[in-house]
Chain A
């Protein structure tokens, strides 16, 4: 998420986006290591809040979260793993990843689970950019 958004803006716009360390958002993974809020949604809140005023941020984050809860993930599977899709019905990592693990049989530490979450992060980044493009550009 942070690499896709801030990294792209750093390349295209430069300052001040090139001052944001994307590595600061890596610890969001695994629901901030506590299986709580999906790190992609938390990082999206930071990304949106960097380029939008408070009211717009709240509106877009609510829209993104609503979409997240209803979306079948993962759609984007560039590695061709054929991962099963699940609907989280929640923005909590425990629910989102837990349902995938339950349906797929893959453990949390598996490469497949990591690919699934990479796809979720990528798809949420794309959706967030679509919302921002419509709202700001």
Chain B
């Protein structure tokens, strides 16, 4: 196998990111990022600032394994 240079690797990442950028740009025409104008005039009453750190609940490691894989494949990242 040939060694992959940093330049070549970044080129590969760049292509993917560029694709996402193009898709993102097209997507923004349709949906866009949220803007102040699109935000509700008043925050809902339930939106109180939660206390940090948030309360952790013990999770099933095998369940998050499967969900993490599926999430990456379907949503990316």
By DSSP majority rule, is chain B's interface helix, strand, loop, or mixed? helix
Asked if residues A118 and B73 are in contact (CB atoms below 8 Å), the reply is yes
By DSSP majority rule, is chain A's interface helix, strand, loop, or mixed? helix
From A26, which residue of chain B is reached at the shortest CB distance?
B77
Asked if residues A3 and B68 are in contact (CB atoms below 8 Å), the reply is yes
Q: How far is the CA of A17 from the CA of B71 in the complex (A)?
A: 16
Chain B interface size range: 35 or more
**Residues of chain A from 78 to 100 with CB closer than 8 A to chain B in the complex:** 78, 93-94, 97-98
Q: How far is the CA of A5 from the CA of B50 in the complex (A)?
A: 18
Q: How far is the CA of A13 from the CA of B61 in the complex (A)?
A: 16
Contact of A122 (CB < 8 Å), options: B14, B16, B68: B68
- Chain B contacts to A: CB under 8 angstroms: 1-4, 6, 9-10, 12-17, 20, 46-47, 50, 52-73, 75-77
